Amino acid sequence: MKRPPRFAITRDSISSGVARLGGDELHHLRDVMRLKAGARIELIDERGAEYDGIIRSFEARHALIEVAQKLTRAAAGARTVALGASIIKGPRMDFLVEKAAELGAAELWPIVSARAVARTPGHEKIARWRRLVAAATKQSFSLFPMEIRPPLGFAGLIRIVPGDTLRVSCAIGAPPLGAVIRRARPQRILIVCGPEGGFDREELAMAQQAGFVNVGLGLNRLRSETAALAALSIAADALDELDEGA
């Protein structure tokens, strides 16, 4: 059975069993998809909660959605993957953010690397990334929106990684990522990808001291965003295998 279309909403837009859907989501619902009153839809809020809804009516700036049921699809104890990605310039970073959300990353840690040429993102850029995440979550039917953490340096990242996390760093010629995951059978994974040219010596030394394992993604040399997304895809496949064999 085909799932109904999905739209992003904020939790404070829902009151007394009715959601008010506006802005770009209203445009998509009414003008692009041409949905009418009575159509069944799904809503997802900024915390990952999903709702089954029915379009009740349209106002000038909002669609009124009757929230029929709150859906629960997330399983406790699910394995999670976080991505630590060095900040890269312009649309390439936007692409990385959007596709990482589609691939099911739980968190994105933007890393301000020593060799990175991009500036530390401001509030407007991070807000843009969050909008991209919301749209990607809606489109891909992910269970939760990917959380975008505040940008930080490599030393700051190391200090806050939970102790039970498998920490891996992408490197040419290292053992395959999938094999490392299948052997470790982790509940939490942090994958870090450096900028063009890789992490510098100090960052590599910090990673080694903090217990990071170098992992490979194949024979080809990949651009930063390609490596990050390839790693997420390989990790998802390996975790699916572990879950199926559990």
The phi and psi torsions of 45 (rounded to 5 degrees) equal: -100, 180
109 shares its domain with 149: yes
Establish if 1 belongs to a structural domain.
Answer: no
50 shares its domain with 164: no
> For residue 27, what is the enclosing H or E element?
helix 23-27
pLDDT at 234 exceeding the cut of 90:
yes
Of 20, 48, 71, the residue that ends a domain is 71
94 shares its domain with 215: yes
Residue 230 sits in a domain whose CATH number is 3.40.1280.10
CA distances from 3 to 29, 41, 172, 188 (A): 15, 8, 41, 30
Question: Which two structure tokens, joined as six digits, stand for 33?
Answer: 């998809």
> What is the model's pLDDT at position 73?
52
CA nearest to 166, candidates 50, 246, 96, 81: 81
> What is the model's pLDDT at position 97?
96
CA nearest to 134, candidates 110, 106, 101, 104: 101
Establish if 209 belongs to a structural domain.
Answer: yes
Residues 41-90 have pLDDT tens digits of 988 877 667 888 999 999 989 999 999 766 655 444 578 899 999 999 88
Residues 142-188 have pLDDT tens digits of 767 898 999 999 889 988 888 889 999 999 889 999 999 999 999 99
Range of the domain at 169: 80-245
- Predicted structure pTM score: 0.75
Of 71, 91, 110, the residue that ends a domain is 71
Residues 97-113 have pLDDT tens digits of 999 999 999 999 999 98
96 shares its domain with 154: yes
Domain count, the chain: 2
Is the alpha carbon torsion for 119, 120, 122, 128 positive or negative? positive
> What is the model's pLDDT at position 230?
95
Q: How confident is the model over 206-222, as a mean pLDDT?
A: 92
> What is the model's pLDDT at position 71?
61
Q: Write the DSSP symbol of residue 31.
A: I
> What is the model's pLDDT at position 76?
45
172 shares its domain with 196: yes
> What is the model's pLDDT at position 47?
67
Judge contact between 47 and 10, C-beta under 8 A.
Answer: no
Residues present in the chain in total: 246
DSSP-derived pairing of the beta strands 80-86 and 147-148: unpaired
